[in-house]
Amino acid sequence: MRADIEHLTVEVDDARLHVARIGAGPPLLLIHGWPEFWYTWHPVMTRLADRFEVFAPDLRGFGDSDKPDRMFGPHDQAADLAALINELGIAPVGVVSHDIGATITQSLARRSPELIAGLFFFNFMYPGIGSRFLAPEHVAKVWHTWFNQSPLAPRLVGASPDTVRMFVAHFLQEWSHQPEAFDQATIDAFVDNMAKPGNLEGGFMHYRAVAKQRETEAAGTDLPAPIDLPTRVRWTDSDPTLDIAWTDRLGEFFTDLDFAPFPGAGHFPHHENPDLAAREIGDFFGSRRLRRWQR
């Protein structure tokens, strides 16, 4: 871990969020997924630090941030992020996200577009996927979506250090096209993080809180308006949980879209191929098309 990564504690409303920071230049905010925390972005952060000031928070309920004392879903997390951006004084900021972090980012973009210079997404859930997520052959690959909603989940997974390790390592390696990207030291860091008090429950809470939204998306009813912000999407060709074929409706939900495949990676492109991930992020946010970015 680079010594020049700074660790901040930032007050947002009724909670304290842990934020890792590095670099100098236009600001980027990197939003992690599950079962992750800020450290998932570490390889990308160090590659972007010579061009950007990079912030990677732990979402509430994750990492070293406070844990919610109530049901806390994407809209609540988006309110946290809006407050964080304002507290850090970094608006308009480029936002990079994937997985559940991208669900939260979509809420943020609809709630507070004025805070955002542009959006960069890796593989993520969006309303255009619809009922395809519920196809029987796919449900078998994403059984965690329902397991994580069970009140038994924290107790079962947290029964012992061994069960936490088996659970976390399973997803990091099974969802990767290049599982060697998660070496033993990295797996240890993820396991140690998940074993911290409240982090199992904090992560599982997202799945309970977002369940109604997922039902609405699958039914194709009451869908949100398109997001009118410069957006780049890079989607890997080997993610067992999110099929690249599901990108076919992105243009319906993002009006200013730059899409391309991201080859040779699974669910964690930022960790499996951080060189390419950082190039794609840096190219997008370094481009002149982000006219809103006046600092």
| Burial of residue 245, with CB atoms counted within 10 A of its CB: 0-12 exposed, 13-18 middle, 19 or more buried | exposed
Please say whether the beta carbons of 246 and 252 come within 8 A. no
Q: Is residue 292 domain-resident?
A: no
Give the full edge-to-edge strand order of the sheet including 93-97.
6-12, 15-23, 53-57, 27-31, 93-97, 116-122, 227-236, 254-262
Q: Is residue 291 domain-resident?
A: no
The CATH number of the domain holding residue 177 is 3.40.50.1820
pLDDT in tens, 84-133: 999 999 999 999 999 999 999 999 999 999 999 999 999 999 999 999 99
Q: Which of 99, 126, 177, 271 is catalytic?
A: 99
| Cα–Cα dist 162/283, whole Å | 41
pLDDT in tens, 149-190: 999 999 999 999 999 999 999 999 999 998 889 999 999 999
pLDDT for residue 293 is more than 80: no
Q: Which of 32, 267, 270, 271 is catalytic?
A: 267
pLDDT in tens, 53-66: 999 999 999 999 99
Q: Is 138 one of the annotated active-site residues of the chain?
A: no
Q: What is the span of the domain harbouring residue 254?
A: 6-285
pLDDT at position 292: 61
Q: Which of 64, 126, 177, 207 is catalytic?
A: 207
Q: Is residue 237 domain-resident?
A: yes
What average pLDDT is seen over the chain?
94
Q: Where are the beta strands (DSSP E) in the chain?
A: 6-12, 15-23, 27-31, 53-57, 93-97, 116-122, 227-236, 254-262
pLDDT at position 58: 98
Q: Is 99 one of the annotated active-site residues of the chain?
A: yes
Which two structure tokens, joined as six digits, stand for 61?
């309920």
pTM higher than the cut 0.75: yes
Q: Is residue 295 domain-resident?
A: no
Q: Is 270 one of the annotated active-site residues of the chain?
A: no
pLDDT at position 179: 86
pLDDT for residue 135 is more than 60: yes
Q: Is residue 290 domain-resident?
A: no
Q: Is residue 293 domain-resident?
A: no
What is the band of 231 on the pLDDT scale with cuts at 50, 70, 90? very high
Mean pLDDT of 254-283: 97
pLDDT for residue 249 is more than 60: yes
Q: Is residue 136 domain-resident?
A: yes
Per the structure, the count of domains in the chain is 1
Mean pLDDT of 182-207: 96
Q: Is residue 14 domain-resident?
A: yes
What is the band of 295 on the pLDDT scale with cuts at 50, 70, 90? very low
